[in-house]
Amino acid sequence: MTLPSFIIASLGITLFGMTSPKINSEIIAEHEALKEQLRRHADLYYNQDKPEISDFEYDQLFKRLLDLESRYQFLEISDSPTQKVAGVALEKFQKAAHRKPMLSLANSYSPQDLIDFDLKVKRFLKTEVAIEYFCEPKFDGLALEIIYRNGVFTQALTRGDGLVGEDVTQNVKTIQNIPLKLKLAGKPPELLEVRGEVLMFKKDFLELNEFQLENSEAVFANPRNAAAGSLRQLDPKITASRVLRFFSYAVGDFDGVTFASQEEMEKKFSEWGLPVVESHRGVTLKKIAGSAEELVSFFSEIESVRHQLPFEIDGVVVKVNSLRLQEDLGMIARSPRWATAAKYAPQQAQTQIASIEIQVGRTGALTPVAVMNPVTVGGVSISHATLHNQDEISKKDIRIGDTVVVQRAGDVIPEVVSVILSLRPQKSAPFLIPDQCPICFSKAETPADESVKRCSNLECPAVIKESLKHFVSKRAMNMDKVGDRLVEIFYDQKLVRRPSDFFRLKRVDLLALERQGEKSVDNILKSIENSKKTTLGRMIFALGIRYIGEGGAKKVAAHFGSIANFLKATPEQLSAIPQIGDKGSLSLYAFISDPKCQAEIDRLMQLGVTFDQQDIRISDKLLGKSFLVTGALPVKRDEAHHLIEQHGGKILSSVSSKLSYLVAGEDPGSKLEKAGTLGVQSLSWLEFLELIK
């Protein structure tokens, strides 16, 4: 597609690198006209529901406006749409009252308080008989209430102030492990309000931050913030693109069902397909305790596995197991008398900042990294921590020589929490990221709509090297014998300057390199050769298109099905890819309409890179469903898995109540039995084929 002429005119596109110098009055006139045009289109779109131009065209105009405003300081921007993007586009969430208040928990950092809690419960109930407690981790996420009517998901609310929450229904619908329909054999409860916690697993948090950083979007301080930021999005597409999970642990109002105990409640939840915490690598994460000592030992047991869990917890929650006793105990202020939490102290340490290094990433972003005297936090030595960007450094006023408190965000990423000002050396100065790229010495600038300084040189060796490292990396082309160091050497020796050059490398070139013997050269060439057979999703990810991470690339591949379709996509087709935001689709369009990028893809294909169709989605028939295949089937196991994935289904590795279907062939063994006891539906191969017919 060619851009409409009015956009080309307003972009002031520079043909053959030449611009006619515009005089200031022309710039002001263009700016005024653009502001007016955008205001009108925003009003048509947001208020009148009758847009006259596509989102893509709107974004192009907006980009031009931003560009003008960042280039010419004399423009009047106080009334510009760039100053109130959020104000125009964003509407607040609808509010809704909770039928039963969502309470908070009394908590402490001392396991001793668990002993006191047991005493208080007994005193209140005027009993000396042992009380049964249900113990589980205290999830460090955000509380959510999901309302099911007659077994069907109808609404989801955040906790809000406990009495009134925000309606996040559309976003919660995109969370994969939340069933839209409860698995009930008989009559479903008329009303069931399930309460629990929305979390982001540590690995998903790390991946998200990596992606945010590469795309100069704000990084999240920890998985909890990332989960909250992802859930409280006005655009459900963004929520859908983040991996969130839910654990159920309580009820609000309910009708048409009874629960005798907390334990029975979670058992029923699990049978109905609602996720509850179970165990991790053989360690059971919940327990029924009958004494104060057992409460304390649960606290310690969980503490010892805490850092191995895939998600963050910040303590344990102890609840009186019997719901009848819970009722007797009631509540005090905003917390129930029948539950308490004991938290783990955060793991932090002190150290000194020896220097601040500037790294240049593949998008040219200059990232400051604190180099610290090594210190141990939670059993792991920390010596480097990213400081993200200038805003972060200025906000915390981090300086070279400062003594700082460090911790591991998400239990993984080292993070500078704060500066101990009383220990600051007398001679110290605020740290400023330089205006020059430390690698190529070109000017480094902060683009108008970003918070990250970038090297302005598109040919900066650091940018190219990092892009090449990304291209060969495991999740991209997976050239497993070509590590970062080798990419640097290839670049420095002028052997590789762009991705296709990897496929032109010759034996003699490699043998001429220092310390490369016959055998290792063979291995390198073999790993390059093997990488040629790849998938479209990997290829798109490998190309390092801005705003397109691994998951996004897969979605693009699945949407278009072939490289040819992708390369000829129109802006409208790109903006219709499910779960790809506007920035992503604009960036994809910029990529495929750049002749240089097209030429590079041509070169790659001519050199023998091929894409198999493995990651191509045929239908959404199995979307949201999980499968486990067992026994002998008429097709190979791999083929069965492939078929499930092609139709949007997920493969699980064990039978649990989370499993939607067990596909059982001949001699299915114990899995079929287990599925039966858990109420998981089993399918024969033919029944399975019916599902995708």
Kindly indicate which of the ranges 134-142, 211-219, 526-534, 625-633 contains the residues binding ligand IVH, using the contact rule CB under 6 A: 134-142
- Tell me the C-alpha distance between 417 and 348, whole Å: 9
Q: Give the span between the Cα atoms of 266 and 259, in whole angstroms.
A: 9
d(CA 578, CA 573): 10
Q: Which residue is nearest to ligand IVH (CB)?
A: 143
Q: How far is the CB of 143 from ligand IVH (least distance, A)?
A: 3
Q: Where are the alpha helices (DSSP H) in 402-499?
A: 461-472, 484-492
Of the candidates 75, 96, 143, 609, which one interacts with ligand IVH according to CB under 6 A? 143
Cβ-based nearer residue to ligand IVH, 57 or 266: 266
The SS3 assignment for 106 reads coil
Whichever of 298 and 591 has its CB closer to ligand IVH, that residue is 298
Q: Does 108 bind ligand IVH (CB under 6 A)?
A: no
Burial readout 363-400 (b: 16 or more C-beta within 10 A, e: otherwise): bbbbbbebebeebebeeeebeebbbbbbebbeeeebbe
Residue 105 sits in the site that holds ligand IVH (CB under 6 A): yes
Binding mask 148-177 for ligand IVH (x = CB under 6 A): ------------------------------
Q: Can you name the residues that pair with 191 across neighbouring β-strands?
A: 149, 255
Nearer to ligand IVH, 344 or 491 (CB): 344
Q: Which stretch binds ligand IVH (CB under 6 A): 137-145, 169-177, 207-215, 483-491?
A: 137-145
Do the Cβ atoms of 477 and 471 come closer than 8 Å? yes
> In this chain, which stretch among 30-38, 321-329, 336-344, 665-673 interacts with ligand IVH, using CB under 6 A?
336-344
Cα–Cα distance for residue pair 338/322, rounded to 1 Å: 10
250 binds ligand IVH (CB under 6 A): yes
Q: Cβ closer to ligand IVH: 113 or 136?
A: 136
215-239 CB burial, b ≥16 within 10 A, e <16 = bbbbbbbbbbbbbbbbbebeebbbb
Cα(485)–Cα(475) distance, integer angstroms: 18
Residue 483 to residue 669: CA distance in whole angstroms? 44
Question: Please, which of residues 264-323 interact with ligand IVH by CB under 6 A?
Answer: 317
Question: Between 473 and 512, how does the x/- string for binding to ligand IVH read (CB under 6 A)?
Answer: ----------------------------------------
Cα 32 from Cα 667, distance rounded (Å):
75
Q: Which is nearer to ligand IVH, 102 or 382 (CB)?
A: 102
Closer CB to ligand IVH, 117 or 211, in the complex = 117
Supply the minimum distance, in Å, between the C-beta of residue 333 and ligand IVH.
12
138 is catalytic: yes
Task: Using the minimum distance from each CB to ligand IVH, give the nearer residue, 295 or 553.
Answer: 295
- Options 136, 266, 415, 615; binder of ligand IVH; rule CB under 6 A: 136
User: Helices 595-606 and 582-592: crossing angle, nearest 10°?
Assistant: 70
C-beta of 250 vs 548, nearer to ligand IVH: 250
> Least distance to ligand IVH from the beta carbon of 164, Å?
15
Q: What's the distance, CA 671 to chain centroid?
A: 32
Does 339 bind ligand IVH (CB under 6 A)? Our answer is yes
Binding range to ligand IVH, per CB under 6 A, among 333-341, 355-363, 553-561, 649-657:
333-341
Question: Least CB distance from residue 315 to ligand IVH, whole Å?
Answer: 8
Type and span of the H or E element at 356: strand 348-360
Count of residues for the chain?
693
x-marked contacts with ligand IVH along 178-217 as a string, rule CB under 6 A:
-------------------x--------------------
Q: Are 363 and 215 in contact (CB under 8 A)?
A: yes
Contacts of 599 (CB under 8 A, 6+ apart): none
CB 421 within 8 A of CB 399: no
Rounded to the nearest whole angstrom, what is the least distance from the CB of residue 139 to ligand IVH in the complex?
4
From candidates 41, 64, 98, 138, binder to ligand IVH by CB under 6 A: 138
Question: Contacting ligand IVH (CB under 6 A), which of 93, 139, 431, 502?
Answer: 139
What backbone torsions phi and psi does residue 366 show, to the nearest 5 degrees?
-90, 115
Catalytic annotation, pick one of 138, 268, 343, 453: 138
Alpha carbons 74 and 28: distance in angstroms, whole number: 9
Which parts of this chain interact with ligand IVH (CB under 6 A)?
A: 103-105, 107, 136, 138-139, 143, 197, 249-250, 317, 336, 339, 341
Catalytic residues: 138
